[in-house]
Structure formats: structure tokens, C-alpha cells
Amino acid sequence: MSDSGRLLAGVRVLALEQYMSAPYCTLLLADAGAEVIKIERPVVGDPRRSIPPFVERNGVRMGVGFMAYNRNKKSLALNLKSDEGRDLYRALVSKSDIVVENLRPRSVDRMGLGYESLSKLNPGLIYAAVSGFGRLPGREGPYGDWPSFDVVAEAMGGVMHMIGFADKPPSPSIYGMPDLYAGMAAAHGVSMALYRRSVTGRGQFVDSAMYDGVLSLNERMISLAANTGARPARGDAPGFYPRGLLSVSDGYVAFTVPDDIMWRRFCRMLDRPDLLDDPRCDSPAARTENRAFLDEVVGPVFADLTRDEAVQRLLAVGVPAGPVQTSDDLLVCPQLEARGVRVSVEYEGLGELQFVRTPLLTSDAPDVPLKPAPTLGRDTRQILADLLGFPDADIRRLGAEGVIGTASE
């Protein structure tokens, strides 16, 4: 379908972004139909352009991570260290609905490009800042000026403390998870602010902190510690059992038996009705306490089954289960195929490359657009000419003076 039928069609976003968190936010907005103009430094661009791994074919090279989070965007190479570059940015802000940025705290304020300054130019501006520890005025906290990447947020948010085994050091989770969640939260905030603007006519500041986001994913640690006195740690049972992994003949299966209803179903599947009256298994707490006993009962039942066989036996009695999938499994998963989660994007010189779409689907726009991530400065001329009315001679001058970049790099 055309972009005009999408939820955010007609919305313009300036993305003063780099690495992952803000780019994921604006990817969500772009997939929903917004026009996203990515502001990059001339010559070097978003640092993620230069971070491996790369796809290299026919003399063309692009970073896989950059491509994954920057499709459906335009690239404007603009030198914000120059007075004229900052003036161009302000002119674009006056014609935009949203700014999303994740630069180091206070850097935009030093350039005179923070929310307080820009909102005077455009009172309807929605300004989303993604940071490590938060930037809402009055709520910055003692860590507000700290830079942050995913591992820092995971460590401080307690997630790393919970991952792994009791006798091993803390472990990180999926690469970039705090960035992506903070970007998703920012996109959620932007969407709500857009609705509010339709009522009041005014924009507002949207503050998404990686630390806050990680802790919201790990809220159980706080709620248990504050309200029950428990101190969750690596290797702790979640409070009900059986749960976790089953070793099968060709890998592993994940499953969970969270309550007595499913426990009765599970016992029927095991053909062990005697366990229903066993005091070691007659409550979630008892089953958790007697994990070793239950592992000895359950493990042999599944050891010789395949993943598919084990999953089907569990699903047949209503116990949630699924295989532990590898990258090879994900590349051929029929559910992902049916949902259109794997998308193919055509890149000049590189051919057709496969990525993962953003997760939200809506009935009027069930498929996302699939425009490739831009080369650096690809859209500079078009943006300056169409949005700001610059003649070609002025664009050439700005390029010669290093205010903008127009080459496809």
C-alpha cells in the first residue's frame, strides 16, 4: 500500500541520532509512514555506518547494524558545528512535527538546539530525547550527565545480576536490548504526544531513559525486594515449577507449568497421577522446593524425543512450550513467514538482504515499507531544495564550505 494510508503519514521527523536507541525509535515511526530525515555529520555520518559486521559485494560495503535500523529514512549530511548548519537545522525544525535525538546529554543545549530553544520556534514541536539516565528538566538525577550503552543500563538496572548461574558472574542479555526498549518507549511517548497535540495544539518533551526502561522490564526485582523482603538473584526459581528447559534428542524445549491447573494437565501427560497426591508436589511452593526430585521425574520422559515431538506432547495437554531456536531455525520458521516478520530489502550493488520488521501490525497497514537505508547525504539536495527552497547554486556553495554533505558515501 502507499505511505499515504499509514498511521503516521504526513508526519515529519528530524532524527538527530546515532548508534541504536534513537534510530530504532525513528525506524518504528518510519515503518508507520512518517517521513524521517536522519541528520548526520558530513563525511563520517552515524558511527554505526563504520561498525562491523559488513555486507560487501561488488565494491559496495554497508554495516549490517546500520542497515537494520535505518531503512525507510532520508539522510541529510549537516555540519551542526557551523553557524549556518545550525540555522539550517532550525529552519527544518520549524517545518517538522517531531525531533528525536540521543546525543550526549547537554550537547544540544550547548549548540542552542535543545527543546527549550526549539519549542520557541515551533510551539507544536514534540521533542523526544533518548538517553542513559533521563533528561527531563528537574528529573535528571545525579547520573543525568553520564553517557550510557546497553551493558551499563543492564548492569545498573539489575538485569545482569539475574542472568546466568548462581556460581557464575553476572551475564549480559541480548545485544542492544536496552537501546531497543528505550527507542520503543520513546516512540510510544511520541505517539501519545501527537494525540495530545491534536487536543491542545502544543508539543512537549518526551524523555526516555535506558535505565528506567531496563528497570521496568526487571520490575519484579524491586517489587519483591521492597514488599516481601526477598532478594532475587541468579539461579533463583521464579516461585513455581516445573519451568525452564527440557533436554531432548535434538536440542532443547522451553516450557512452564505456572499453576495447579496446568500441573494436573502435566501429570496426565507424564502418566503420573500419583504425583497429584504427593506432598512434594501439591503446591507451587512445594514443587519449587523439590526441583531436584521433579527434574529426575520429568527429564527421562523427554530425553529421547525430538523438539517437535516434545512440544506437541506438551501443547496437546495445554502446557505452553516451544523449541529453543537457533538462527538457522529462525531463517525457516513458518510462523515468521506467515507473519511477514522477515523482510527482504533490495540494495543497489548488494542485492536482496533480509532483516526483521518492527513488531507492530495494524489492519489498514499490514506490511511495512521496504526502502533501503540511505547512503550518507543521499537526500541532502532534495531536502534543501524542496523543504527550504534553496537554489542549486546555494546548495553547491554550502557543500563547498563544508556546511552540508551531498555525496553518496
Which H or E run contains 247? strand 243-248
Q: Are 287 and 242 in contact (CB under 8 A)?
A: yes
Q: Are 360 and 28 in contact (CB under 8 A)?
A: yes
Query: What SS3 state is found at 409?
Result: coil
Asked if the bond preceding 320 is cis, omega within 30° of 0, the reply is no
Catalytic residues: 179
Closest of 211, 177, 205, 210 to residue 192, by C-alpha: 205
d(CA 267, CA 273): 6
Closest of 390, 405, 406, 403 to residue 81, by C-alpha: 403
Q: Are 101 and 126 in contact (CB under 8 A)?
A: no
Closest of 347, 331, 370, 345 to residue 57, by C-alpha: 347
The set of cell numbers assigned to 409 is 558515501
First to last CA, the chain: 30
Q: Are 217 and 181 in contact (CB under 8 A)?
A: yes
d(CA 88, CA 121): 13
Report the DSSP pairing between strands 60-63 and 54-57.
antiparallel
The set of cell numbers assigned to 303 is 530425553
